[in-house]
Structure formats: structure tokens, C-alpha cells
Structure 1
Amino acid sequence: MPVVTPFEEHTDRYDRWFERHDAAYESELAAVRDALPSVSAEAVVEIGVGSGKFAAPLDIGLGVDPSRAMLDRARERGVTTIQGVAEAVPLRDDSVAAAALVTTICFVDDVARTLAEARRVLVPGGTLAIGFVDRKSPLGERYRENQGSNPFYRDATFVAVPDLLDAMGNAGFVDLGTVQTLFGEPASMDEPDPVASGWGDGSFVVVSGRVPD
């Protein structure tokens, strides 16, 4: 079952994190933007769009999410929304040029099925970008230590970069790449961190891949 209840009950709290940690938020936006191709808003979907905090500034026109409260908030931010889950994306085959999952992969029930669905809805040559807090990073370790006290992460399954790269390869994605940011503690950041290639130093990583032509 999708993790919905905390997002229904704590929509405002979800948005406030990004407002309180604006520099970290801008860093994450920059990393996801770096991994996405330049295509029209209508050609991009965010799977697990949440409140639209990423889709709206990234000019992603379409969002899918199981939470009605989150979809309402995303719609207010100008995103066209569809209720659905990552393992059964309610879009046609070969219908979008790019897809993003941002801070979502730790909440899906089935990573392999999620990646298969993303590949199905992407056109040949289309790009998938997945942004997440690396399980083995300092921030990922802290989130796991405090998992029981956080309503959002209580039921999350954090993912490590090598495991996701393997899963994307197994799903048929090629030209895999990674970028990273958040090299320190989000609460102490006064300005956005840079986006660097690779992984292992930054807590927030974007793994991307392409559907073969």
C-alpha cells in the first residue's frame, strides 16, 4: 500500500521543511534540474509529485501522486495532477519525454515495478531522473536513526546509490549518471551547495538514465 496518511495529515509541515531549509531546497532543485533534459513542461511528469514543491519551479507540467491533499497543493502551484501510484502510472505507453521521482523512491512498495512503469511511459530516448537522500550518507544515516519519530520517514525504505544504479540497469536504462549536492548539514546552510558529478560525498544524489533509442 502506498504511504499516504502522513502526507494527508501533515501537508503544511511537509512544505515548511523546504521553507526553513531554503538553501538545501535550492541545492536539491539545482541537482534535479541538472539531470533533466530541456523539453516542454507538458512532456515531463513527476511521479510522486507531492505538493509540487519540485515540479512547479522545475517547469514539470504533470504530476502523479496517491495523496489527494498533496495533489490539491500541487494543483494550486499550477501542476496538472493525476491520482495514482508509482507502480501503476496512469499514463499511456511512450507518452512523456522525461520523468522525475524526487524524494519518492524510498516510499514506493516495489522499486523494480516503479522503474518498469517509468520506462513504459517514457518515449525511446527519454530520461528518468531520481533524486533522493542516499542511505549511506550522513543525512541518510541520521534520518534512519530518527525514523521512528518522523511521520514521513517512519515507513520509508532508504536506498543506497549502488543498489539503485543496479536496479536501473536491470530495468533497461542506459547511460546512467549521478550528480550530488548537500555536502553539509541542511539546517546550517546559508547558501546553496554546488552540484557535483558522482556520488559519495553529498547526501542528496540524483541518479539518471535514458531509455534506449
Structure 2
Amino acid sequence: MTKIKSKKLNRLELNQEKFNQGAEDFEIWFKNNENLFLTELNALAKMITKPEKCLSVGIGNGLFAEKLDIKKGVEPSQAMADLARARGIEVKAGKAEALPFADRSIEQILLGTILAYVEDKQKAVSEAYRVLKKGGEIIVSILPAESSFALLYRLAFLEGHYRTELSPKYPYPMDFLAGTDWLSTEELIEIMEEVGFKNLEFRQTLTKHPKYVNDEVEKSIPGYKKGDYVVVRGEK
């Protein structure tokens, strides 16, 4: 992957630049971790009730959206958005904290791990609330700050490399770890409730150690205290 030039960037600019430069590496990582991908996908599929009316914010390369039959998205990285468009998805340029949609115009919104990359998490959730219709739903997926995955990523970033004895065969690209800020499940619940979302539901998966999580596809289960991948659905 091409090295990012050293300059002062905010979190959005930093992540946009590295994803522009490494979009293909992101695709390769998911191909090398197909079971992990399917495990996360299955958990999301349990929560997405209206894919034809769902907006994916931070849609990335569109890999999840394509499999979930989501047809619209928002993405700040041009390279990632181009990959999503190649999958037949309509993608608008924009960021989670300033969605390019009118008030009360969307029925369902997916924030797929995007909160680890935004500058203002509460603003991003508030924007979702703003554009959702009354009774609309938000679905948020996170790798919780307290999870073994987030701890592994933090350790790798601090040490500058992955430890082979702790890590999966194909670990998440190091360049994508800079600028991340993992959110705990409790923090997410607090933000969602403060913004006004109610009737929160949870699903969790990725219950194995990260080194072995790609060995097989896992089913998701209700709750959020066992899994390293947590999906929350709330109602406006």
C-alpha cells in the first residue's frame, strides 16, 4: 500500500485519504476473511428489516450493502464510493455528521462500524435521527472498545505490528488503524438514548478469539456482552 504523506489531518481527512489509497487492500482483506465477513453479514441481516428503504452511511466498498440488498449509501472516500457504485449502488458524497438528505426523509439507516472513524459520534447519531422519519429505525454495528478485536488493534497500532501468536492469519491492514476511536457498547447506548432513540435491540457475534474467528461462520445471538461484533437497532 502507498504510504500516506505526513501532514496534520483531522480524523475524517485521515481516514478518507487512507481509504482512497487502500481501497483495494480493504477488498482483499474481506476476501481473505470470508467467514468473518459472513458472520458479520448474518448479524446485520437479522436487523435490517427494510433493505430497499435503507440508507447505508459509510457504505465503503459496498460489499455489505450489495449482499444485504441495500441500494443507497453515503461515503466520503471517492475510491471506496467508486467500488460501491460498480456494485450497482447509488452513492452520494458526504459524511456521517452532515448527511446530504432532508429532515424526516429516510425510513431506515445503517451505520456500519463508521462510528470508529468519525470525529463527532453524537453528531453522527443525531444526523441519523434528523433524517429518519417518525418511527424510522437506526442500525449501528460496532467492534466494542472492550472487545478482544479492539484491544488487539490498539496493541498492534501501539507496537507498530501484529503479534503472530495473537493475530489472525490475515489481520486488518495496519494503515486503516490510524485515527480509529473505538466506542464501548455502554457509550453507544448512552449516545443513542440521549439523541432520542428508544426500544433498543441487540445482536452479538464473533465470540471466538480473533486468531480463530475466521475458522467458521458463527450465528448471531441476542445481547451484547459476549460478542466482539455488536449490532444495535433503535427506533425514532
**Hey, which of these two has a bigger chunk of helix by percent?**
2
Cα distance, 1:77 vs. partner? 0.8
User: In the alignment, which residue of structure 2 is the partner of 1:25?
Assistant: 37
User: In the alignment, which residue of structure 2 is the partner of 1:165?
Assistant: 189
Q: How far apart, in 2, do the equivalents of 1:113 and 1:85 lie? A: 11
Which of residues 55, 61, 69 is equivalent to 1:45?
A: 55
- Which aligned segments of 4 or more residues in structure 1 are displaced greater than 2 angstroms? 185-191
Q: How far apart, in 1, do the equivalents of 2:35 and 2:61 lie? A: 19
User: In the alignment, which residue of structure 1 is the partner of 2:113?
Assistant: 103
- 1:93-172 to 2 correspondences below 5 Å: 93-148=103-158, 149=160, 150-172=174-196
- 1:71-86 to 2 correspondences below 5 Å: 71-86=81-96
Q: Which amino acid aligns with 1:122?
A: L
- 1:82-93 to 2 correspondences below 5 Å: 82-93=92-103
Which of residues 179, 202, 207 is equivalent to 1:178?
A: 202
Secondary structure class of the residue paired with 2:65: coil
**1:207 equivalenced with 2:217 (yes/no):** no
Which of residues 35, 58, 63 is equivalent to 2:47?
A: 35
Which structure's CA Rg is the greater one?
2
Q: Which amino acid aligns with 1:55?
A: A
Which of residues 68, 72, 80 is equivalent to 1:62?
A: 72
Q: Which amino acid aligns with 1:96?
A: I
CA contact (8 A) 1:45 1:64 kept: yes
Cα distance, 1:191 vs. partner? 2.2
User: What is the RMSD of the two structures over their aligned residues, measured on CA atoms?
Assistant: 1.2
Cα distance, 1:147 vs. partner? 2.5
Cα distance per residue 1:40-95 (max 9 Å; x no partner): 52x21110000001111111111101100000000001110000010000011111
Cα distance, 1:132 vs. partner? 1.4
Q: How far apart, in 2, do the equivalents of 1:27 and 1:195 lie? A: 8
Q: How many residues align?
A: 209
Q: How far apart, in 2, do the equivalents of 1:137 and 1:73 lie? A: 29
Alignment TM-score, normalising by the size of structure 2: 0.85
Q: How far apart, in 1, do the equivalents of 2:220 and 2:51 lie? A: 23
Q: Between the two proteins, what is the percent identity of the paired residues? A: 31
Secondary structure class of the residue paired with 1:136: coil
Alignment TM-score, normalising by the size of structure 1: 0.94
CA contact (8 A) 1:23 1:190 kept: yes
Cα distance per residue 1:3-57 (max 9 Å; x no partner): 20110010011111111111110010111111122x252x211100000011111
CA contact (8 A) 2:51 2:68 kept: no
Q: How far apart, in 2, do the equivalents of 1:152 and 1:118 lie? A: 24
Q: How far apart, in 1, do the equivalents of 2:56 and 2:97 lie? A: 13
Q: How far apart, in 2, do the equivalents of 1:161 and 1:186 lie? A: 18
CA contact (8 A) 2:148 2:210 kept: no
Q: How far apart, in 2, do the equivalents of 1:105 and 1:31 lie? A: 18
In structure 2, stretches of 5+ residues that fail to align are 1-9, 161-173
